[in-house]
Structure 1
Amino acid sequence: MAFISLSAAVLAGGKAERMSRQDKGLLLYQNEPMALLVGRALQQVAEFVFINANRNVEQYAELGYEVIVDNQNYQGKGPLSGLMSCLAIATTSHLLVSPCDTPRISGAAFARLKEASVSVPDRIHYLYGISGAHPLHAILPVAETRVSLKAFLNTKNRYSVMAFYDYFGCDTVMWDRPEQLLNVNTPQDLA
C-alpha cells in the first residue's frame, strides 16, 4: 500500500462530561470555536477536511465543513465510534484525525505525521510528547484500518484507542511543542 491522498477529520463527537456537557468544539478559544482552529490546522496538509459530531450538527456545519455523525452500528464505543464513522466515509488512502479540544495544534504537527505516514504508509502514526501519548492526533491508512477496526469492535469488549492501535500496529511521532498539545477538558483549561 502507498500513501496517495489525505483527508482529515476534526473529532467532535464526545459527550464532554468534564466540560458540563457543553459541546467543546463550539466553545470559543481566543474568540474562535475550537473545532474551527483545529480544522484550519488540518487544512494546511489535507485535501479535504470534515467534522465528526453527534450534537449541534447545524452549528458545526456553519463553520464551513461537511459534518458526519457516528454510524449507529458503532455508537457507544467512545472515540473508536468516531474513528469508524470517519473511516467509513473517507475516500483517500489516508485519514488524519485530531480532537476538537486541542486549539493550539499546528499544521506543522500534522505535517510531521504525514511525513511519517509517507515513509511507512501501512501503520498508524500518532503524536507523542513530554505529556505522553496523544493517540487522537493520528494518521491512519483508510482501507486497512477500516477492516481491522470493524473486526476489533465486533470482537473486543474494551474500546480503548491504544488497544486498537496496538492490535493494528502503530508508531509514535515525537512532537516537542507541549503548548500545542494543550487539551481543553474543563472550564479551567479554557480560561
Structure 2
Amino acid sequence: MTLSGAVLAGGKGERMLSQDKGLMLYQSVPMALLVARVLRDVASVVFLNANRNLDSYGALGFDVVSDGPDYQNKGPLSGLLACLVFANTSHLLISPCDTPCISRDAFVRLEEASKVFPDRIQYLADGFGGHPLHAILPVESSLACLKRFLDKGERYSVMAFYEAFGCDSVLWDKSEELLNVNTPDLLS
C-alpha cells in the first residue's frame, strides 16, 4: 500500500462568512496547514485541494490542486475527484481543512482498516455519526466509480457515493478531534 494525503479546502466557506476556512487561523496557524502537517506524519505525499486563494495555499508549502472544469460545483465530491486524479499512490487519505484537532492516530486507524479491506472506502465515525470526509480510498477504483457516479448527476452526496462504491465506518471515540470549525466563534 502506498499512501498520499489530501486536505479538502475547496469549499465556499458560507458558514464562515464566505472566508476561506482553510486559511483561517486556529491557535495562530492556518487550519489547512494544521491538518496537512498531521497527514504528513502518515502519508508519503500531501497536497491541498483549493479553488480560491491559490497563492496563499501554495505558500503553505504543499502542492495545490483545484477542481476540474468538468466536475465543478458538486460539493465535496468535486474536490475528492480532483484529489483522486492527482494522487499517484494506491490509496488516498482525505481530511477536511476545518478539523484542526485531528490526530495522526486517527489517520493511522484508517490506514489499518484499509489494510484489512483495501478495496473498500473506510471513513471515521464516532458516537454522534459518520465523518465521511475523514476517509481512505483506493485510488484507481474510486476514481473510476466517482466519475460514473457524477456523470449520472442524480445526487452529489459523499455518503451516497461511498455506499455505491462499498464502504465501512471506522469507530473513532475521540470526538473532540473531529471538531468541525465552520463558524467564526469556534476559532481560538
The CA deviation at 1:131 is: 2.2
Paired residues, number: 188
Q: For residues 8-64 of structure 1, what are the alpha-carbon distances to aligned partners after superposition, in whole Å with 9 as ceiling and x for unaligned?
A: 100000001000000000000001000010001101110000000001000011111
How many Å separate the matches in 2 of 1:174 and 1:189? 25
How many Å separate the matches in 2 of 1:28 and 1:187? 10
Corresponding residue number in structure 2 for 1:117: 114
Corresponding residue number in structure 1 for 2:49: 52
1:35 equivalent in alignment to 2:35:
no
1:153 equivalent in alignment to 2:161:
no
TM-score where L is the length of structure 1: 0.97
The CA deviation at 1:190 is: 1.7
Q: For residues 88-131 of structure 1, what are the alpha-carbon distances to aligned partners after superposition, in whole Å with 9 as ceiling and x for unaligned?
A: 11110000000000000001000000000011100000000122
How many Å separate the matches in 2 of 1:29 and 1:76? 27
How many Å separate the matches in 2 of 1:171 and 1:156? 24
Q: Say which SS state the counterpart of residue 61 (structure 2) adopts.
A: coil
1:170 to 156, 167, 172: 167
Give the share of equivalent positions with the same residue, in percent. 63
Corresponding residue number in structure 2 for 1:12: 9
Corresponding residue number in structure 2 for 1:91: 88
How many Å separate the matches in 1 of 2:136 and 2:41? 14
The CA deviation at 1:156 is: 3.1
How many Å separate the matches in 2 of 1:59 and 1:50? 14
Q: For residues 123-169 of structure 1, what are the alpha-carbon distances to aligned partners after superposition, in whole Å with 9 as ceiling and x for unaligned?
A: 00000012211000000000000000000000132100000000000
Q: Say which SS state the counterpart of residue 136 (structure 2) adopts.
A: strand
How many Å separate the matches in 2 of 1:130 and 1:36? 27
Corresponding residue number in structure 2 for 1:81: 78
Structure 1 runs not aligned, ≥5 long: none
> CA RMSD for the aligned pairs?
0.7
Corresponding residue number in structure 2 for 1:100: 97
How many Å separate the matches in 2 of 1:76 and 1:68? 15
Structure 2 runs not aligned, ≥5 long: none
How many Å separate the matches in 1 of 2:58 and 2:86? 17
1:24 equivalent in alignment to 2:21:
yes
TM-score where L is the length of structure 2: 0.99
How many Å separate the matches in 2 of 1:100 and 1:185? 10
Q: Say which SS state the counterpart of residue 100 (structure 2) adopts.
A: coil
How many Å separate the matches in 2 of 1:169 and 1:73? 25
How many Å separate the matches in 1 of 2:4 and 2:68? 19
